[in-house]
Amino acid sequence: MRRTLGRRTALRSLAGALAATLVLAVAGCGGDDEAGTDAAQAGPNGVDDGSELTLWTRAPLEKQAKLLVDAYNASHQNKVSLTVVPNDDYVAKVGAAAGSGGLPDLFAADIVYVPNWVSQGLFQDLSTNINGLSFKDQINKGHLSAGTLDGKPHVLPFVLDLSMLFWNKELFKEAGLDPEKAPANLEEYAAAAKKIQGLKKPGVYGTATGLNCGGCLVFTWFPSIWASGGEVLSADGKSSELAGDTAKQVYSTWADLWKSGAVLPSSAGETGPTWTAAFTEGKVGLMFYPATLLSSTPFDAGVAGIPGPTGGASTFVGGDGIGVSKDSKKAAQAWNFLSWMMSEDAQVEVLAKNKDVVSRADLATNKYASTDPRLVTINEVAGKGDTPVALNFQQAFNAPSSPWLTLVRNQVLNGTGDVQKDNEEITAVLQQ
Amino acid sequence: MSDSAATRGRARPRGRHALLGWLYATPTAVFVVALFVVPLGLVVKMSVSRWPLLAGDQGLNAPDNFEKAVDHRFFTDSVVFTIKYTVLATVLLLVLGLGLALLVQESSRWNNLLRASFLIPSALGLASASLLFYVFYSPFASPLAPVMESWGFTFLGSPTAALLSTTFLIVWRYAGFYMVLMLVGLQGIPGDVFEAARSDGATRWQTFWRVTLPLMRPTLALTTVLCVTGSLLAFEQFYILTKGGPDNSTITVVQLIYQVAFQGQNDLGVAAAISVIVLVALVVINALQLRAFRSEES
């Protein structure tokens, strides 16, 4: 008798404890914190009063983020402490922090995720501050519009990463191609790749890409479609137009390249971590490649905008946007960092000095850019580039099992599948 | 409760006795509640709530998440693939583990060396081992790259190759571990049973089939349960080696949970619903396995 009673009491108190913990957990998740200092009331430059600020970014932009933070800390009373998170873990970490109200004061986000994160309310409204900037019209439009909700900008460009056509001048010379002239369209691109493949040098391939990496393909193939006047998404980001004629020409060019054996074989399974490695080692003739790697490419490389099937030039304006988080109690101080980041001091003396792209058009021709004509090219193409905006971008394109990957792999590698049907699958995900 | 305990209980003040009991049980109870009951309760709650990763709890919506989970375009594929992988890995590991154990059963100088070399891969974490094989299988960085190039073959390039390559990694990593478990079972069989079999004129094969295997049943039950559970929950090896590719052919159920939660859909509710389904399936499968081994015994 006593035994049953004891067990029942134990069960009851256990259930009580469980319920109490659940209630606590739920309360913790749902709590809305009262707003701290308001960025809008802090004036155009924010507050520099020796506060500690926290900033999160993802690993691919570590170099640029470190330079910016170090330069800011050296010249201001506020101190920013930087946390760099591995690329694959970033969404999970931000998600967990957002759910429990623990986001840092400032955090950067892959620009393709920014529309979703802004609409989920992860960033504070900065419209008063951003609209007050005298050079607002010069700020990169793709990044600014990705972070704009209901006409209110929430996010500024942190680091711009552009996809460009890079070619290895040494290999071009050996293959009898003009090392100073970029292929003018996708057909010439394929011809150049085949010619370099024709050298039959061991371990050297014509071109390379990441055929199992949705993000790489978005970054490098969308510009091909734009360059010839095609579109990839409808204006509202709710339907996919990747079965258009220009897109089909892009797929068939690559399918032909793949069949001819001029593409690095590991490209077929490449999920992203090493998609640029072969080019950096000088083993690939030409490829669509991120401009942030310009300063770490050790040999003489040519740079041009990405051409489409009928010529033209475009680029994917990627990289990260940055804003003040919903959980920040130091918005006025955080704005001080952001306003400094957009200033000429930071854009030219930090970013341009490191051969990075500036996010203000009026600073594109600066003293550092003019010493390397490739930087001028990159800055010029940046104006012609685009940033697609869609709420479900990650699931439709970047995720490892995205319908976009299925479409590309069917078209290029397997030679099967119905491009219309695969495209409808992307639209279905975009509309969820 | 035995008689003497009851008497002793009556002799002492009742409250103090109960208090002491609670005190003894508290450390375990705290850990069980904090590390098992609370997370489990939270997952169940998530599975019946609208719970986007970025927005947090949005209130109950049962049973939407379970419908969405079952309707997910990779749900059936991932279940089928997980079962396929589990059967393959379990058969290979158990047969190989038992074979290796029989091979190194006698203790001699060479067998000690063999045992150690079979066991060494188990000292490596699964994620580190996967990274090692990621490089080993890479057509770009692997020492085998020239071979792959001349044969026109890649280890992770086709669905079958990816499954077999990953299974090879798992066999390499775990065969030594299962060998040790089997070895313990083998050495638990008294030597006179084998002697009796030998004097009755049983062949080696007969001895193995009629004596060794039946007496190994508890060990076989343990290893099967471990191996099946481990394989059904496979994640790291596929996450690192294949990311579910090529062409979504190697998505395991746990990978699907991770993808739904953090890579695109960002829906903790649906992810928790799949977790609950997996949990129930595991409980049922393990109960069936234990029952199967027990009923044969009696």
**pLDDT by residue, tens only, chain A of 432 residues:** 344 444 444 444 444 444 444 444 433 343 333 344 677 777 778 889 999 999 999 988 888 999 999 999 999 999 999 999 988 789 889 988 988 889 999 999 999 899 989 998 999 999 999 999 999 999 988 899 899 999 999 999 999 989 999 999 999 999 999 999 999 999 999 999 999 999 999 889 999 999 989 999 999 999 999 999 999 999 888 999 999 999 999 999 999 999 999 999 889 888 887 899 999 999 999 999 999 888 888 899 999 999 999 999 999 999 999 999 999 999 999 999 999 999 999 999 999 888 888 898 888 888 888 888 888 888 888 878 888 988 889 889 988 889 999 999 999 998 888 999 999 999 999 998
- Amino acid A35: pLDDT: 43
Q: Quote the pLDDT of residue A37.
A: 63
Q: Do A271 and B264 touch (CB under 8 A)?
A: no
Pairing of the two strands A52-58 and A79-85: parallel
Tokens standing for residue A141:
């439009």
Q: How many CB atoms lie within 10 A of CB A424?
A: 15
Beta bridge partners of A303: A166
Query: How many Å apart are CA A387 and CA A143, to the nearest integer?
Result: 7
Pairwise CB contact (< 8 Å): A26 & B57: yes
Q: Looking at beta carbons, which residues of chain B come within 8 Å of A120?
A: 52, 54-55
Q: B55 vs chain A: nearest CA distance in angstroms?
A: 6
Measured in angstroms, the CA of A212 and the nearest CA of chain B are apart by: 7
pLDDT of residue A86: 87
Q: Give the distance from residue A6's alpha carbon to the nearest chain B alpha carbon, in angstroms.
A: 9
Interface pTM (ipTM) of the complex?
0.72
Q: What is the pLDDT, as a whole number, of residue A235?
A: 86
| Positions of chain B with pLDDT lower than 50, given as ranges | 1-9
Q: Which of B177, B183, B219, B192 is nearest to B89 (CA)?
A: B177
Cα dihedral A136, A382, A255, A262 sign = negative
A121: chain B residues, CB-CB within 8 Å: 55
Chain A interface, best mutation among B247, B252, B256, B257, by max A CB count within 10 A:
B247
Q: Which of B245, B251, B261 sits opposite A269 (nearest CB)?
A: B245
CB B222 within 8 A of CB B181: yes
- Return the pLDDT at A45: 83
What's the pLDDT score for residue A8?
A: 45
Phi and psi of B15, rounded to 5°? -65, -40
Task: Please list every residue in chain A whose beta carbon sits closer than 8 Å to the beta carbon of residue B19.
Answer: none
Cβ burial B246-255 (10 Å sphere, 16+ → b, else e): bbbebbbbbb
Say yes or no for a CB contact (<8 Å) between A30 and B261.
no
What pLDDT was estimated at residue A231?
92
Interatomic CA distance for residues B172 and B119, integer angstroms:
10
Cβ–Cβ of B41/A277 closer than 8 Å? no
Spatial contact of A165 and A288, defined as CB atoms under 8 Å apart: yes
The DSSP bridge partners found for residue A302 are: A167
Element (H, E) at A159: strand A156-168
Cα separation, A195 vs A238, whole angstroms: 41
Which of B50, B262, B265, B267 to probe the A interface (max A CBs under 10 A)? B262
Question: Could you give the angle at which helices B217-232 and B268-297 cross, rounded to 10 degrees?
Answer: 170
In this complex, do B149 and A265 lie within 8 Å of one another by their Cβ atoms? yes
Note the pLDDT of residue A15: 45
Distance CA A205, CA A257 (A): 11
- Predicted pLDDT of residue A20: 44
**Cβ-defined contact of A400 to B243 (cutoff 8 Å):** yes
H helix or E strand, kind and range, residue A148: strand A148-149
Instruction: Say whether B261 sits in a helix, a strand or coil.
Output: helix
- Class of residue A372 by CB neighbours under 10 A (exposed 0-12, middle 13-18, buried 19+): middle
Test B259 with A399 for CB contact under 8 angstroms: yes
Q: Which residues of B touch A278 (CB under 8 A)?
A: 140
Distance (Å) from the alpha carbon of B248 to chain A's nearest alpha carbon:
6
Q: Are A350 and A68 in contact (CB under 8 A)?
A: yes
The residue of A266, A416, A421 whose CB has the most chain B CBs within 10 angstroms, and thus the best one to mutate to test that interface, is A266
Nearest by CB to A29, which of B21, B56, B247? B56
In A209-356, the DSSP E strands lie at 286-290, 301-304, 306-308, 311-314, 317-324
Which residues of chain A are within 8 Å of residue B248 when distances are taken between CB atoms? 401, 406
Query: Does B154 contact A98 at a Cβ distance shorter than 8 Å?
Result: no
Distance CA A265, CA B152 (A): 9
The second-level CATH assignment, the architecture, of A40-161+318-384 is 3-Layer(aba) Sandwich (3.40)
Q: Please indicate whether, in this complex, the C-beta atoms of B263 and A14 are within 8 angstroms of each other.
A: no
**For chain B, which domains are there?**
75-250 (1.10.3720.10)
- Count helices and strands (H / E) in chain A: 17, 11
Beta carbons of B266 and A271 less than 8 Å apart: no
Facing B259 at nearest CB: one of A29, A265, A400: A400
Distance CA A283, CA A262 (A): 12
Say whether A162-317+389-430 and A40-161+318-384 share the same fold: yes
Q: How far apart are CA A153 and CA A126, in angstroms?
A: 6
CA distance B227 to B174: 9
Asked if A395's CB is within 8 angstroms of B138's CB, the reply is no
A323 - beta bridge partners? A107
Interface of B with A (CB under 8 A): 1, 18, 21, 29, 33, 37-38, 41-42, 45, 52-57, 74, 138-141, 148-149, 154, 156-157, 243-248, 251, 259, 261-266
Distance CA A279, CA A288 (A): 10
Nearest to A395 among B37, B74, B264 (CB): B264
A95–B251 C-beta distance less than 8 A: no
How many whole angstroms separate alpha carbon A185 and alpha carbon A253? 11
φ, ψ of residue B62 in degrees (nearest 5): -55, 145
Q: Mark yes or no for CB contact A266/B244 under 8 Å.
A: no
pLDDT in tens, A384-396: 888 898 888 988 9
- Note the pLDDT of residue A180: 94
Segments making up each domain of chain A, as ranges: 40-161+318-384, 162-317+389-430
CB contacts < 8 A, A to B, total 117
- 3-class SS of residue B60: strand
User: For A401, which of B29, B259, B262 is closest by C-beta distance?
Assistant: B259
Cross-chain residue pair B263–A394, CB shorter than 8 Å:
yes
CATH topology of domain A162-317+389-430: D-Maltodextrin-Binding Protein; domain 2 (3.40.190)
Rounded Cα–Cα distance for residues A111 and A166 (Å): 23
The CB density around residue A4, as the number of other CB atoms within 10 Å, is: 8
